[in-house]
Amino acid sequence: MVLVCWLVAALMVFGAIAASDAFLEQQEVQSICDGAALAAANDADEAAVYAQGAGAQVPLTRAAAEAAVADQLTDARVQLDAWSAQTDGAEVTVRCTRSVHIAFDWLFLGGRPLERTAVASARAPTLG
C-alpha cells in the first residue's frame, strides 16, 4: 500500500514537472511568434506606399510579411519546424510550430516530442 502511494505521488510530481515544462515551451514559441508578427506588421510594402501613398494605414503584403518574419527568426536565431504569415493588407497573422522534448516525455509521451503551436496577429501602424 505504501509503495502504491509513493508511486502515485511520484507520478503526480513528474506530471507537474512535465506540464510546467510544456507550458514554458508554449510561452517561448508564443513569444517568438509575437515578435515575428510585430516585425511583419512594421514592414510596409514600400512599392505600394510610393505608388498609392500611405493612406490611413501602412499597406502590408504577404511577400513583405514573409520576408520580415524570416528576417526576425534569423536574427533571433530560433528554430521552428514550420511557420506561415498571412495578411489582409492591414493586419498580419503569423503561425509558428515547433516540436520540443519535455521533461519525462519518455513517461508521458513515449519519448515522442510535443508539438507546440502559437498564433500571433499585429496590425500595421496607422498614420495620423
**Grid cell locating 50:** 510610393
Per-residue pLDDT tens digits for 5-60: 999 999 999 999 999 999 999 999 999 999 999 999 988 777 666 666 666 667 88
Question: How many Å apart are CA 42 and CA 123, to the nearest integer?
Answer: 8
Whether the per-residue pLDDT at 65 is higher than 90: the answer is yes
Residues 89, 93, 94, 97, CA torsion sign: negative
The whole-number pLDDT of residue 60 equals: 86
Question: How many Å apart are CA 20 and CA 103, to the nearest integer?
Answer: 9
Whether the per-residue pLDDT at 82 is higher than 80: the answer is yes
Q: What is the pTM of this model?
A: 0.85
Q: In what order do the strands lie in the sheet with 114-123?
A: 82-87, 91-100, 114-123
Q: What is the mean pLDDT of residues 67-78?
A: 94
Whether the per-residue pLDDT at 124 is higher than 60: the answer is yes
Domain ranges of the chain: 2-123
Per-residue pLDDT tens digits for 88-103: 988 999 999 999 999 9
The whole-number pLDDT of residue 55 equals: 65
Question: How many Å apart are CA 127 and CA 106, to the nearest integer?
Answer: 52
**Grid cell locating 65:** 510579411
Whether the per-residue pLDDT at 106 is higher than 80: the answer is yes
To 5 degrees, how large is the angle CA 63–CA 47–CA 94? 25
